Amino acid sequence: MSLEDPTSPEADPEPVGVTEDGLDYDALEDLLGDLAIGRESHINAEAFVVRPGDVEEALVTLRDEAGFDHCSCLTAQEYEDRFESIYHLRKYDEPTQEVGVVVPAARENPVSQSANGAFRTADWHEREAYDLVGVEYEDHPDLRRILLPETWQGHPLRQDYDQEQPQVVPLREHANPLKDDHRGIDNSDTMFLNIGPHHPATHGVLHLKAVLDGEVVADVDPDIGYLHRCEEQLCQQGNYRHQIMPYPDRWDYISAGILNEWCYARAAEDLADLEVPEYAQVLRTMSAEMCRIAAHMLAAGTFALDVYGDFTAIFMYAMQDREKMMNLLEDLTGQRLMFNYLRLGGVAWDLPEPREEFFEKTRDLLDDLPERLEEYHNLITSNEIFQMRCIDTGVLEPEAAKSYGATGPVARGSGIDYDLRRDDPYGYYPELDWDVITEDGCDNYARVLVRLQEVEESAKIIKQCVDLLEDWPEEERTIQSNVPRTLKPEPDTEIYRTVEAAKGELGIYIRSDGTSKPARFKIRSPCFSNLQTLPEMSEGEYIPDLIASLGSLDIVLGEVDR
């Protein structure tokens, strides 16, 4: 077995199972040999059933021999007779090549082996699965609750969970978790510092448990869950057709709403086999890129805020440019933040009348953009102090980034050429002319550069969409295909679909049970995985670098905690 050589996943020149037409799952099954005890068919990929004790071995085999180096998500769920953990694997080089690893666990005592040895990102994902579903992972280094308080009774996504049950917590355990500040420890050279949950630089309610050695961060442990709103369960209670679509707006609520909506639209449309008219695809592409610009503007502005320290010029400039984008989106969708614009099989409505006015406004904005970006580059990226602060700080090596499942600008800032808009095409992206931006710096500076350049690329996309929309024949402007009033996908179909959201790979897993509501709705948040890299980036660096690194990750706690 290749357990001895986990550092070079691409040692094998030709990964097993790759043919000219894509993946040969039979070859993968042969590769796993005795490890695979069964095979399931999901809409997005085949999945192999693996015994609870063989998880790590199976994942390492797939990673090293077959090149599945990206553990995108872990979904845990409960069936009548068993619990199940599904590891959704894919490749950074070729994300359309996917495979699932299904690990059943006993109904009474759900225990399965942890995947930590294969992918470091499994750490948090397994903690979440344990927290919400109650599957226990053996050999997990730190299997604590992650989203709910440590004193929580029961696992909320279990079928027998009683929502009415009062959470009775003894006073002793209810003690303020922030109170214990390690001051009593004698002979300690370090200082324990709570950064957050209320702190100017945590971008929301994030709590970092930091241990400082002087000004140097010796250890940092992000504590999340303060903004957990049971989004997965809320989505499981809504019907496919209309009731789920408003929720994605509330995950990454920093004006990235349509990007998130698209993820649900993509998953549900593939699940129910719905077509989307081409005209609607162009509208989706345009509006999604507008969201991306707005989100990246805020990211650049708040990152500058973290490095500059006050509400400085660059922050306000970025807010202004975001504001202009939001005005456009308001014209288009009627909303400034919670757009609720996409529908299954199309979009809610066509461009606002008069169309020329909308086109003109959009073009004006895009024409001004290069000048604005020039100013950003003058103000931040070419400032020597800014470079001093950001270059070679918060370093995230590509290998670590992959192991943590980092995606989006964070991965692209580490030189990983991975963008689902190009690699796993959807919408109208394949027809348009644009580039994927990567930077090899692996540091805070590279991540800022990636975001600023991506704004330019998004502007290119919007421009092309506007041209297309302007010339679109009036009789062919179909914004919505025929969709049954009540969607009831086939029972026991499973799908995992991802899109490139503002922060990275946003994924949704849906299992249907033949009703109009999903039986399991799992969200793969890019921020959740990206935030996991923070200790890797900031341990051994100074507090200001920790803050800068956190800012460069561009997390939104609404999406981390869901």
Partner 1 sequence: MSASLPTVTLQSGTPLPDSIRSLLGLPDGPVFEFIAAVIASSVIAAALLGLVAVSGIWGKRKITAAFTDRIAVNRHGPFGLLIIVADAVRLLSKELIVPDGVDRPAWDIAPIVMAGSALLGFAVIPMGNGLQIADPEVGLAYVFAVASIASVGLVMAGYSSNNKYSLLGGLRAVAQNLAYEIPLIITAASVVIFAGTLRMSGIVGAQAETLVSVAGIGIPSWYAFVNPFAFVLFMAANLAEVGRNPFDIPEAPTEIVAGWQTEYSSVYFVLCYLSEFIHIFLGGAIIATVFLGGPAGPVLPGVVWFVIKMVAVYLFTQWARSAVPRVRIDQLIEIGWKGMLVLSFANLVLTAVIVGLTV
Sign of dihedral through CA atoms 185, 209, 441, 306?
negative
Closest to partner 1 by CB, 59 vs 326, is: 326
Q: At a CB cut-off of 8 Å and minimum separation 6, what does 494 contact?
A: 40, 42, 43, 86, 509, 510, 511, 512
Q: Rounded to the nearest whole angstrom, what is the least distance from the CB of residue 306 to partner 1 in the complex?
A: 5
106 is an interface residue for partner 1 by CB under 8 A: no
Q: How far apart are CA 216 and CA 200, in angstroms?
A: 19
How many chain residues touch partner 1 (CB under 8 A)? Answer: 33
Is beta strand 46-50 parallel, antiparallel or unpaired with respect to 98-106? Answer: parallel
* Parallel, antiparallel or unpaired: strands 136-138 and 111-113: parallel
**Selected range binding partner 1 among 58-66, 122-130, 485-493, 538-546, rule: CB under 8 A:** 538-546
Decide whether 214 or 425 has the Cβ nearer to partner 1: 214
**Could you tell me the sign of the dihedral formed by the alpha carbons of 26, 82, 559, 181, in that order?**
negative
Angle between helices 543-553 and 278-308 in degrees, nearest 10: 170
* Gap between the Cα atoms of 318 and 299, Å rounded: 9
Q: CA nearest 408: which of 556, 234, 548, 194?
A: 556
Q: Is 396 in the site for partner 1 (CB under 8 A)?
A: no
Please pick, from the candidates 389, 412, 451, 511, the single residue that binds partner 1 as defined by CB under 8 A: 389
User: By CB under 8 A, is residue 312 in contact with partner 1?
Assistant: yes
Among 167, 320, 382, 478, binds partner 1 (CB under 8 A): 320
**265: Cβ contacts below 8 Å, ≥ 6 apart:** 245, 276, 284, 342, 343, 344
Q: Which of 555, 516, 461 is nearest to 271 (CA)?
A: 516
CB of 381 to partner 1, least distance (A): 11
Which residue in 57, 545, 559, 561 binds partner 1 (CB under 8 A)? 545
- Quote the CA–CA distance of 30 and 538 in Å, as a whole number: 42
Between 328 and 548, name the residue whose CB sits nearer to partner 1: 548
Q: Does 361 bind partner 1 (CB under 8 A)?
A: no
Amino acid at 180: D
User: Does residue number 424 form part of the binding site for partner 1 (CB under 8 A)?
Assistant: no
43 binds partner 1 (CB under 8 A): no
| Closest C-alpha to 542, from 299, 312, 210 | 210
Q: Which is nearer to partner 1, 30 or 368 (CB)?
A: 368
Among 119, 264, 315, 445, binds partner 1 (CB under 8 A): 315
Determine if 178 is a binding residue for partner 1 (CB under 8 A). no
Tell me the window of 91-99, 341-349, 455-463, 539-547 that interacts with partner 1 (CB under 8 A): 539-547
- In the complex, what is the shortest distance from the CB of residue 384 to partner 1, in angstroms, rounded to a whole number? 9
Binder among 92, 226, 308, 429 for partner 1 (CB under 8 A):
308
How near is the Cβ of 277 to partner 1 at its closest, in Å? 41
Of the candidate spans 104-112, 218-226, 384-392, 491-499, the one that interacts with partner 1 by CB under 8 A turns out to be 384-392
Strands 494-500 and 346-347 come out as unpaired
Contact in structure between 386 and 380 (CB atoms under 8 Å): yes
**Who contacts 323 (Cβ-Cβ below 8 Å, separation ≥6)?**
none
By C-alpha distance, which of 405, 400, 438 is closest to 419? 438
Does 146 engage in binding with partner 1 (CB under 8 A)?
no
311 lines the binding site for partner 1 (CB under 8 A): yes
Strand, helix or coil for residue 533 = coil
From 36-44, 126-134, 137-145, 375-383, give the range in contact with partner 1 by CB under 8 A: 375-383
Choice between 45 and 449, CB closer to partner 1 = 449
297 counts as binding partner 1 under rule CB under 8 A:
no
Per rule CB under 8 A, is residue 175 in the interface with partner 1?
no
Assess 322 for contact with partner 1 (CB under 8 A): no
Decide: is 337 part of the binding site for partner 1 (CB under 8 A). Answer: no
Question: Of residues 199, 229, 355, 460, which one binds partner 1 by CB under 8 A?
Answer: 199
Q: Would the CA dihedral through 508, 513, 519, 520 be positive or negative? A: negative
Residues forming the site for partner 1 (CB under 8 A): 181, 191, 193, 199-201, 215, 304-313, 315-317, 320, 379-380, 383, 385-386, 388-389, 542-545, 547
